[in-house]
Structure 1
Amino acid sequence: MIVLHHLNQSRSLRILWLLEEMQQPYELKVYKRNALTRLAPEELKNIHPLGKSPVIELDGKVIAESGAIVELLIEKFAAHLAPERHEEDYIDYLQWIHFAESSAMVPYLLKIFNSIETQKGTELCFLDSYADAEFNKVFGYLESTLENKTFLVGNRLTGADFMLGFVAHGLVYGMKLADKFPNIHQYLKNLEALPSWQRALKIEAECN
């Protein structure tokens, strides 16, 4: 049995959605953010020393990191969600899976953190312009890539979409940038039409 230690409003949504798509039996253990600090509760450190989510338990092991979890679960339970290694799309698949937590996540989080700091009166000397430049570069690239595409790789649902869907959701609903990135917005609509996405969002809403 797969156990998902799920923190509300976190990257754990990726794994929740993947589990719903795989329709593999799993147990969900829910943790809620501290209402004041918005940080994960201390109880998560009892599961993994970093105290972060997502974390899964599988075959007696505790496994962290979204990308590693997505790749592992697909390899073990849902091979149809990844190109085979000999296929041309496999390289693109790997790049986009890692793009979501490397190139995309740094400017994404910087924009959020900078907004919080400036709202509190902090004067930013470097991070603001750096974050804007990186944000526009990274998501401009994603925007152009997604033109006329339903999914990210090979025009079919893959692990890359499970990784990137969380970021697209944050851009559209958290940052309210649907008008600036219409292709990303349409891509998110494509994901939102999937029954597994809808089930995951319903479970997530019940966790908040």
Structure 2
Amino acid sequence: MSDAKPNVTLHHVQYGRSFRVLWLLEEIGLERFGGLEIVEHRIGTKEMRESDLGRISPAVRIPAIQIDGLEMSESGAIVQYMVETYAPELGRAPGDPERPAYLQWIHYAETQASLVEQLNLMMVFLRPPAKPSPIVVKLNVARLRQTLQGIEDRLGEREWLLPSGFSAADVMMGFNLFAVPYYVHMDAFPRVAAYKARIEAREANRRAVAREGPQRFYDKDFYPVPEA
């Protein structure tokens, strides 16, 4: 059996869903891989469609990853595969009593991320003379608040989503909590705010953030619901 370490190429947009994979790689430990190449893409341009990304990602979206001869897309699938292959301690295996909750939180993170994505499209990407619908924005903000309330209620006094400790479910969720405060004030969710602070304090997360640099996506600190 070869002892060669796999080389990783990550197709990435700064602070997009691919951040989950970048952070997970840091949690696993980059020393376990032969090398990491990050291919930066510019969201909202033709570059993504005209690049090689579509060969790897059927939806021509990030993240997409190449691990030697393996190619995958979809952040949840990549996170689950990488955990099962390289860091089982960050997952919960079949038969583990926490397995159902682990899977649920991974997919809950995508429910929440889809709301953030809709708000990003309406409030950041939609340019004049087009205007976002105040009713639709208000509805999506309300739904986003509800997803936060769900986390707030279930966290209780726990530090992480699962009682036994940190897992890849926190990696999936942590990406969302970077963006959520641009649309929802966090004062009503003190447990989530504390959870977010614990995520940001993790050394692996700090290393991933350092790789990203200052965010270039949002041009405001907060985006209120537009007036009708």
> CA, structure 1 residues 94+49, in 2 after alignment: closer, same or farther (shift >3 Å)?
closer
Q: Please report the RMSD computed on the Cα atoms of aligned residues, expressed in angstroms.
A: 2.7
2:23 corresponds to 1:17? yes
2:130 corresponds to 1:124? no
> CA, structure 1 residues 184+29, in 2 after alignment: closer, same or farther (shift >3 Å)?
same
Alignment of 1:111-190 (within 5 A): 111-116=119-124, 117=126, 122=131, 124=133, 126-172=135-181, 174-175=182-183, 177-190=185-198
Alignment of 1:1-208 (within 5 A): 1=6, 2-23=8-29, 24-25=32-33, 26-33=35-42, 37=44, 41=48, 42-43=50-51, 44-45=53-54, 47-101=56-110, 103-116=111-124, 117=126, 122=131, 124=133, 126-172=135-181, 174-175=182-183, 177-205=185-213
Q: Any stretches of 5+ residues in structure 1 without a counterpart?
A: none
Q: Deviations over 1:43-82 (max 9, x none)?
A: 2335434322111112512100000000000000100011
* Residue aligning to 2:225: none
Residue 118 of structure 1: CA displacement?
9.4
TM-score normalised to the size of structure 1?
0.84
Q: Deviations over 1:120-157 (max 9, x none)?
A: 56362752343233222222112222232211112411
Distance 1:175 1:133 in 2: 10
SS class of match (1:100): helix
Q: Any stretches of 5+ residues in structure 2 without a counterpart?
A: 1-5, 217-228
Higher-Rg member (1/2): 2
Distance 2:152 2:41 in 1: 32
- Bigger mean CA offset, 185-194 vs 103-112: 103-112
Contact 2:141–2:184 under 8 Å retained in 1: no
SS class of match (2:187): coil
Distance 1:89 1:40 in 2: 41
Residue 5 of structure 1: CA displacement?
1.8
Contact 1:151–1:187 under 8 Å retained in 2: yes
> CA, structure 1 residues 118+3, in 2 after alignment: closer, same or farther (shift >3 Å)?
closer
| % identity of equivalent residues | 28
Contact 2:123–2:132 under 8 Å retained in 1: no
Distance 2:164 2:9 in 1: 30
Residue 170 of structure 1: CA displacement?
1.2
TM-score normalised to the size of structure 2?
0.78
Runs of 4+ in 1 over 6 A off after TM superposition: none
Q: Which amino acid aligns with 1:115?
A: M
Q: Deviations over 1:72-116 (max 9, x none)?
A: 000001000112322211110000011111x21232223333434
Distance 2:121 2:18 in 1: 20
Contact 2:122–2:132 under 8 Å retained in 1: no
Distance 1:6 1:149 in 2: 32
Distance 2:155 2:45 in 1: 32
Contact 1:8–1:30 under 8 Å retained in 2: no
